[in-house]
Structure 1
Amino acid sequence: MASRLEIIAKQRGMGSHLSPTETTCYLTADMFYLEVLLLPGGEVEDVKLAQHGEAPVSSESLLQLLKSKKFEEFSVKLKGLSSLYNIPGDNETKIKVYTALQFLGKDLQKISHLPRALREYNLQVDMILNGRIGYLLAGSEGIPMTIQYYISPSDILLMSDSERCSVGQLALVTVGPTDCTHKLQMASVIPQPPQLDAQGLPLFSPLCEVLSGMMPACFQLKLQPPLPMLSSFVEKLSQITDVAIADTDLQWAPFPQLMMTLRENGGDKTWDGQDAHFLVPLPGREMHSYVLPGAAWEEAALRGALVSTIPFTHPAHVPALLELLRHQCAINTLLASCITSHRPSPGPVCDLYCEVLPESGSSLSVTFHLSDSDSLSVLLVNVADSQKLTCSLFAVRSEDQSMDEYVSRVLKRCMSIPVTMRALNRRLSKRTCGEPLPACSSTVSTADGSPASPPLPMSCEADSQKRDCPGLESIGIPTTPSTAAMFSQDAMGPDATPMEAESAFCLSVTEVNTNPTVNPYPSASVCVYSHWMHNNHLPEFI
């Protein structure tokens, strides 16, 4: 065992030596060391990790790796530990940088513990979506402090409680080298007791008033997975931190291409400038068609890049950065709901044909055709931030403000354009047939009395026989458990209990759009569906 440990240490650029009694093998680096306690027969008794300035602490995970003779995984763990101190310079510089990172972590923990009102039933989900620092996981054994800052409704529906720390969007809090020096804290910048501003954030002490130092490094949020971000959002990151993201680290591309690239088992991963056409299967043999016109998404202002690392220099930057990242995640989630691996093929006839157009960096429109009208309708979706999503419907003989409120609630709850369009289409059909519509104002109250997201009205329900998507195979779409689970929000009735509301992940709907809006589409014409004209799809819905 000792000889094997020496080989691993040499591979990782570490030193190694045995104690005089040959009962302990030491693996040493500049900023940490390991004590591997050996039994007379060569078996491992214990593994202790000592990071800079800290006493050795037994590590159960490292011990189990060596006992199981998983030497490759053990070596990867050592690499992770070394990466925490990947700063050029002498030991004194590395110690300063490590000290700055430690105080940053302590200040982030202080911010996360500040009191605030809960918005969701599940505490962890509430911390992820609404916490000033997200859901914070302390670093250990080579894994940096981790922030879980966004999770989509579909992620929550398809995961167990034990998986909630590993899904969604994560950010590792680390440090990295820079070409120029930055002033970093060497002590806490949150005075005790903390004083809060109007937003509930602490008032920070200026760096000139606390111990700090100039270092050839800065703090970093390493995003896992990398996040597709629009160019305007990337600029806002630099405005928050005053540290520019190197343009050489960014590869700009049309935004739908980035979304398709990241999609697991997605279809084409290249964007040829042509219209992208996707089929979205829904429960009850329902099929939607979504087209993203190439010309509209090719505009320079709508290009984006995969962002993997965000540099910053102060703990005050983190809450603002997370809010911006959540905003981008909300936009990405909506757009991703229209992108699938299913492409048009001869045979399937869709129940609804939609065209998704960008209106700005934070809004988009969905143009579609109502079965009872000869004209086109437009649903305008505005994402002011991750918690403020509003919809405005522009359709013939549709001036009911409650419809905008209803659609906004549905969208905010499911974060899916196809599910929202399905609910809207059903509600409009009921109105046309003269059936009574469910009230839009039913809500579920949280423990503190504030309204939480209401269950979807009955017009959005799917019969229990339809939840498994029967018949999709007959039109060439394979049925999987996740297909039905993705849209299981529709199975919620108006009498949903708080526990059911939590399982379906109802977001807060305290703010909805109730203001009249000037119709920006007074003469929407069939010309926006030119690709359907060429493919002879138009007669199918006119």
Structure 2
Amino acid sequence: MSVPPACQLILDLENRGGVSCRAKSMFSVMNALESLSRQKGLNVHVSPSGTTCYITSMMFYLEVQLEKDGNLMDVKLAHFGEAPVVCDDLVQLLRMKNYDAFGKILEDLSNMYQIPGNSEMKAKGYLALQALEKDLYSMSLLDRTQDVNRVTEILHGKVGHLVPRTRGTPMNIEFYISPYQILEAELNPGSQVCGTKTVVTIEGTDMLHKLPLSPLIVDPQSGEDSNPAFLQLTDELSMDLPALFVLKFHQPVPMSSSSIEDIHRLTGIQISGLKLAPLYELIVWSALKDKCSEELSTNESCFFVSLPDCPKHCYFINKGSEKSDLAGALVSKIPFSHPKCVPGVIEILRHQVAYNTLISSCVSDKHINEDDSELLYFEVVPHRNTSFCVFFLHPVKENLACVMIDVITSREVHCHLQLNPQDPALSYSDDFIARVVKSCMSVPVVMRAIFRNAAKVKADSKTQDMDVDTKQPHEPPSAQITDSDSLKESPSVAGQHDLVVTNKSSITDSTEENLSTAKLETLGGNTEKSNLSSRTETLCRVEEN
């Protein structure tokens, strides 16, 4: 059947338009790949047909194959001396046009070979990385059973939850996840909720280091206490290379000086380029970076935290000083030369991140009280290596109380509630508080639990006072606190009675004011403004077991 001339003209125009669109699509993909590759310092070649793009370096190359309509066919990666292999992860990224993630992988591939020397030396570095990856994978299988889940591996595995390197993505280790992240993952099946991760790679150095060129674990189960036995690092199994293995973090991790020293003792290698600062200042900075869309000053030390069924909390973060263990640094990577160091380093990292999680729970993007709601005031003060104190006013009396939290490991927390001997007990045992801490890893949630229990104590105390009043003759009331900033008992949001401030403007307008001074000023002239450090020493004394 013949096509009318007018219709044929329309079909010809449509076909030309389709070809133009397909050519434009293919050109745009090629143009993006060329631009991205050159930004990463790589060479780019396009085949005469225009359907294949080669991204090359001295040690590897990528082959990106397109159809004539611009749709992606395959992405192949070949390392030095190896045959090309299809990379499904890279195919997926390019099909989604996620050029940022694709560029990050190009950068990781390039960094893998940033070792001084010729191509042979760089190839030896790649062999060393492969040997390390095999040993780490063997260690990851030690505690793995058929029913083990990801969260258990993250929190308890010798090398956390290990994901082997795919052709384009480096090996990574997920080693800590908070209870809230676990809950979020459970409530949102299929969501990409992940904990703290580190990437396993190799980097060039100015000095030579002896690195293994083949796996050192012969039998993962042959060591003592279920630890693997390693072969001796002989000349046959190793080589002096201008490189080191590194655990790299996507975001720098605030670490205490003592944790950094522990890692140094374990690896024998100094972490270079560190700048010491008060640890709590670094933790606050890191927390604000995660929680805030806008940049907030790290000088902020007062934060407002809202919880359901509870008055709003105001936390003053006492950042301490750069002295001794109260100092720390932001750590971006940890160098090491032997796979046996990794489990110990992972355990130190877990410990530090668990501690950071508790302090970060007191930090929010709200550093100004935006309403006139009731407030409970707390001060977070560093104590020793991995312990800190949370000071607050006793809900029944007007004396300082304190909860000391000692993070023994990422899985063990000790707590001690310290009260003035004359104040009513709050009936929570130290073990119970520790269980609450471990279950939520949130200081505000723990303090809410304590204040809820205190409301019952206060109610019982009032009942006893009423019983006494009915049995004794009425006496004139004693002198009351008349200062406008004084404390009074007022119903909380939950309908219970909590200790609240009637006039909060003087405090909320000056968030830089130290909590100890603010708390003591609210007590009026009947309370002496003693030094916080002396109170800290008194309240933080814990009997040695």
Q: Structure 2 length as normaliser, TM-score? A: 0.72
Q: Which residue of 2 aligns with 1:149?
A: 175
Matches within 5 A, 1:7-22: 12-15=40-43
The one-letter code of the counterpart of 1:36 is: V
* C-alpha separation in 1, matches of 2:516 and 2:97: 62
CA displacement, residues 165-202 of structure 1 (integer Å, 9 cap, x when unaligned): x532110001111121111111111113631322x221
* C-alpha separation in 2, matches of 1:37 and 1:366: 60
Q: Which residue of 2 aligns with 1:168?
A: 195
CA displacement, residues 442-484 of structure 1 (integer Å, 9 cap, x when unaligned): xxxxxxxxxxxxxxxxxxxxxxx99xxxxxxxx99xxxxxxxx
Matches within 5 A, 1:134-283: 134-159=160-185, 160-164=188-192, 167-192=194-219, 194-198=221-225, 200-208=226-234, 211-246=237-272, 249-262=273-286, 263=288, 264-265=291-292, 268-271=296-299, 276-283=301-308
What is the alpha-carbon root mean square deviation over aligned residues? 3.6
Q: Which residue of 1 aligns with 2:87?
A: 59
* C-alpha separation in 2, matches of 1:528 and 1:62: 53
* C-alpha separation in 1, matches of 2:326 and 2:233: 37
Does residue 381 of structure 1 match 2:405?
yes
Does residue 393 of structure 1 match 2:426?
no
What is the aligned counterpart of 1:529 among 516, 523, 528?
516
Query: Does the CA-based 8 Å contact 1:189-1:210 persist in structure 2?
Result: no
* C-alpha separation in 2, matches of 1:530 and 1:99: 61
Q: Which residue of 1 aligns with 2:123?
A: 95
- Which 5+ residue runs of structure 1 have no aligned equivalent? 436-464, 467-474, 477-526
Q: Which residue of 2 aligns with 1:428?
A: 454
The CA deviation at 1:401 is 9.2
Query: Does the CA-based 8 Å contact 2:405-2:415 persist in structure 1?
Result: yes
The CA deviation at 1:329 is 0.7
Matches within 5 A, 1:470-485: none
The one-letter code of the counterpart of 1:34 is: L
Distance 1:390 1:348, change over 3 A: farther
CA displacement, residues 201-255 of structure 1 (integer Å, 9 cap, x when unaligned): 2121221276111100000000122100111111111111000011xx2222222
Q: Which residue of 2 aligns with 1:404?
A: 430
Query: Does the CA-based 8 Å contact 1:379-1:393 persist in structure 2?
Result: yes
* C-alpha separation in 1, matches of 2:515 and 2:53: 71
Which sits farther off after the overlay, 30-39 or 233-242?
30-39
* C-alpha separation in 2, matches of 1:19 and 1:167: 40
Query: Does the CA-based 8 Å contact 2:391-2:403 persist in structure 1?
Result: yes
The one-letter code of the counterpart of 1:127 is: E
What is the aligned counterpart of 2:328 among 282, 301, 304?
304
Query: Does the CA-based 8 Å contact 2:316-2:380 persist in structure 1?
Result: yes
* C-alpha separation in 2, matches of 1:72 and 1:433: 59
Q: Secondary structure at the match of 1:207?
A: coil
Matches within 5 A, 1:17-36: 25-36=53-64
Query: Does the CA-based 8 Å contact 2:181-2:194 persist in structure 1?
Result: yes
Q: Which residue of 1 aligns with 2:134?
A: 106
The one-letter code of the counterpart of 1:292 is: I
* C-alpha separation in 2, matches of 1:114 and 1:70: 36
Q: Secondary structure at the match of 1:377?
A: strand
Q: Secondary structure at the match of 1:304?
A: strand
* C-alpha separation in 2, matches of 1:86 and 1:239: 27
Q: Secondary structure at the match of 1:271?
A: coil
Which sits farther off after the overlay, 282-291 or 312-321?
282-291
Q: Which residue of 2 aligns with 1:418?
A: 444
Query: Does the CA-based 8 Å contact 1:82-1:142 persist in structure 2?
Result: no
The CA deviation at 1:334 is 0.8
Q: Secondary structure at the match of 2:142?
A: coil
Matches within 5 A, 1:299-338: 299-338=323-362
Q: Which residue of 2 aligns with 1:511?
A: none
The CA deviation at 1:60 is 3.4
CA displacement, residues 88-118 of structure 1 (integer Å, 9 cap, x when unaligned): 2111111111001001011101001013699
Query: Does the CA-based 8 Å contact 1:289-1:350 persist in structure 2?
Result: no
- Which 5+ residue runs of structure 2 have no aligned equivalent? 1-25, 462-493, 496-503, 506-513, 528-545
What is the aligned counterpart of 1:289 among 289, 311, 314?
314
* C-alpha separation in 1, matches of 2:280 and 2:65: 54
Q: Secondary structure at the match of 2:234?
A: helix
Does residue 357 of structure 1 match 2:352?
no
* C-alpha separation in 2, matches of 1:163 and 1:430: 40
* C-alpha separation in 1, matches of 2:70 and 2:379: 67
The CA deviation at 1:139 is 1.6
The structure number with the bigger radius of gyration is 2
Does residue 82 of structure 1 match 2:110?
yes
The CA deviation at 1:31 is 2.0
Distance 1:218 1:126, change over 3 A: same
Distance 1:370 1:190, change over 3 A: same
Query: Does the CA-based 8 Å contact 2:315-2:378 persist in structure 1?
Result: yes
The one-letter code of the counterpart of 2:517 is: S
Query: Does the CA-based 8 Å contact 1:362-1:383 persist in structure 2?
Result: yes
Q: Which residue of 2 aligns with 1:45?
A: 73
Which sits farther off after the overlay, 357-366 or 57-66?
57-66
Q: Secondary structure at the match of 1:129?
A: helix
